[in-house]
Chain A
Amino acid sequence: MKTSLRRALLALVSSLLFACATIPPGTQPSEADPWEPMNRAVFAFNEVLDEYFLKPITSVYRFILPEIVRDGIYNVFGNYNDIYTALNNLLQGKPALAFNDFMRVMVNTIFGLGGLLDVATPAGLEKHKEDWGQTFGVWGIPAGPYVVLPFFGPSSVRDTFGTVADIKSDYLFTYVKDIGLRNSITALRVINARNTYYEAGSLLEGAAIDKYTFLRDSYIQRRAYQVNDGRTTDQEPLMPPYENPYE
């Protein structure tokens, strides 16, 4: 049953890949995105998946659960993710930040009712977000070409390996023995993640001239910024200073 479902999905993905592996005529090739035809096909698949599956489920989730419960769920997963942020900060050679993140987990677990409340932020322990992709970036591995992953969305070659490492090192994802429990937790995590941009999603639809390009260019910028911990805006701007050459 499970394999047949997987096969059906695989067939759907691959047929989409071959069916519409084209880019809109007139699109300027982007240096960062040499695999644009394939990426656009996967993007289209993800969009359909979101429209008919993930988004409807999330709206039911929002209908059933009051905001305070959703916030609690968000905080619990956030608290759990802080453990991995601490780990990655350590791997990136930032022990002070790692200690900050570790303290966040302690404070929120003990004083925040097991992570339901984020009491560490108001207490002055700033929240960070670090993952394996960023760690690889700090180690000097370039992002490589842009990649859209089925289900996971925007990524790069480096961040694809990062995502694999994230999953492999994730306790809830990899080491929970009870499959039913593990799947339930994963489903809740996915819905929680989708819920965080539920309202923003429609704003983005309205603002985008071409959503694919918009997300791609934003993703590439954002990841560079994250790897540098935002320092680029401090010393040298991500974009060179403007000289107004167009007027």
Chain B
Amino acid sequence: MAIETNSLTRRYDGLPALNKVSIQITPGSRIALLGNNGSGKTTLLTILSTLLQSSEGSAKILGHDVSKKTTALQNIIGVIRHQPMVYENFSPIEDLELFAKIYQVPNNRERIERLLTSVEIWHLRDEMIGTFSRGQKQRLMIAKALLHRPKVLLLDEPEIGLDQDGLRVLDQLILTNAAEEESTPITVLAATHREERVDTWATGFVRLERGRVIETSLGEDAL
């Protein structure tokens, strides 16, 4: 399984934000994580991203236990969170070069140029990120999430701030894996409130309500 959770539970002050969530996502699937505000989508993605420990239960990504935070696991996940994860007073080139070093990306200059061109902000490569609009930062985050060629993408509302052009870039690069050169497709788990767009990219969905899974459709031709 690409992503597997077993009775995953997270409580805040005794109250469950995530309640015994068990899901199994096969490699290459593109799953939409649906639900209202407070349904547990972000908590689930934060635990899978290794940024939060679960209170109970377990979660694995491609066989790696997420509670153990191993280098192998961190090398195979790409993450987009609500807030842009960038140095505001750096240029996109400076920010991506630092993270390319951290992830030890080979031929990082070419990779960065290719990604910034793909998200259509190559012309902004030397501008300070702090001057970018939300949509431009989100495009940069798309490039950053793909920088180290992850096998699993965990995306928390990746459409935020994107205009129609930005949504097209997102669909091309991430949600349909169209621009990735790897032969094995990336597995995507993306929280979204844009349910009208889900059938353009998702192969299945998981719906959460008050921390519980209330509906799933994880088959290849589910949508």
Partners in one complex: no
Q: Interface of A with B (CB < 8 Å)?
A: none
